[in-house]
Amino acid sequence: MGLIGTKWKPLILFHLLDGSLRSGLLQKKISGISNKMFTQTVRELEKDGLVSRKVFAVVPPKVEYKLSERGRSLENILRSLDT
Amino acid sequence: MGLIGTKWKPLILFHLLDGSLRSGLLQKKISGISNKMFTQTVRELEKDGLVSRKVFAVVPPKVEYKLSERGRSLENILRSLDT
DNA sequence: CTGTATCCTAGATGATACTG
DNA sequence: CAGTATCATCTAGGATACAG
């Protein structure tokens, strides 16, 4: 807990179960999340080592997120929480 | 989620995995919880049907809490969240 | 497109005192 | 012992505007 004990962490992780996603697309999937919370939450997940962030040096900017090994280890729990 | 998405719900449920407990004892096991939050949270858990509350008509008052069937169904998740 | 910076509010939680 | 009532506080979260 603490790792997923927030309103958005579980949802973000859940949507990454199927593979990596571009920042914008991921955010769009999380219906109702504010831009602020999206960035903030993803950063925390990255800091906790559950998600990895990959930045492409292109223009316009491109960023992809995906579950890390540790993130994958929560797959069972995430699918249980589902909803 | 919503069922266990709070600071205390998981802990209370966790401590009931081993069996029923008297109110005071249960609260004492949840280190750091205020009296207010304890009662409030336990009431919500009861309302959600995860915990059952049994009152004994004795003096001094005695109340016991235990997991309901539905509460037990979360056992796996709870043990995973552990910590 | 992706991310940062503010300002602001509702709800969650804590501390304390009190009742049956 | 168990629970309620208040009041004060803290913080997650939302809205908005702006920057690289």
The residues spanned by each domain of chain B are 9-81
Say if domain B9-81 classifies as CATH 1.10.10.10.
yes
C-alpha span between B23 and B1 (Å, rounded): 25
* Interface membership of A10 toward B (CB under 8 Å): yes
Q: Is the pTM value of this prediction over 0.95?
A: no
C-alpha span between B70 and B73 (Å, rounded): 5
pLDDT tens, N- to C-terminus, chain B (83 residues): 778 888 899 999 999 999 999 999 999 999 899 999 999 999 999 999 999 999 999 999 999 999 999 999 999 888 887 65
Quick one: DSSP state of residue A31?
Answer: T
- Could you say which of B10, B77, B83 has the minimum Cβ distance to residue A80? B77
For residue A43, give the 3-state DSSP assignment.
helix
C-alpha span between B46 and B82 (Å, rounded): 21
* Interface membership of B80 toward A (CB under 8 Å): yes
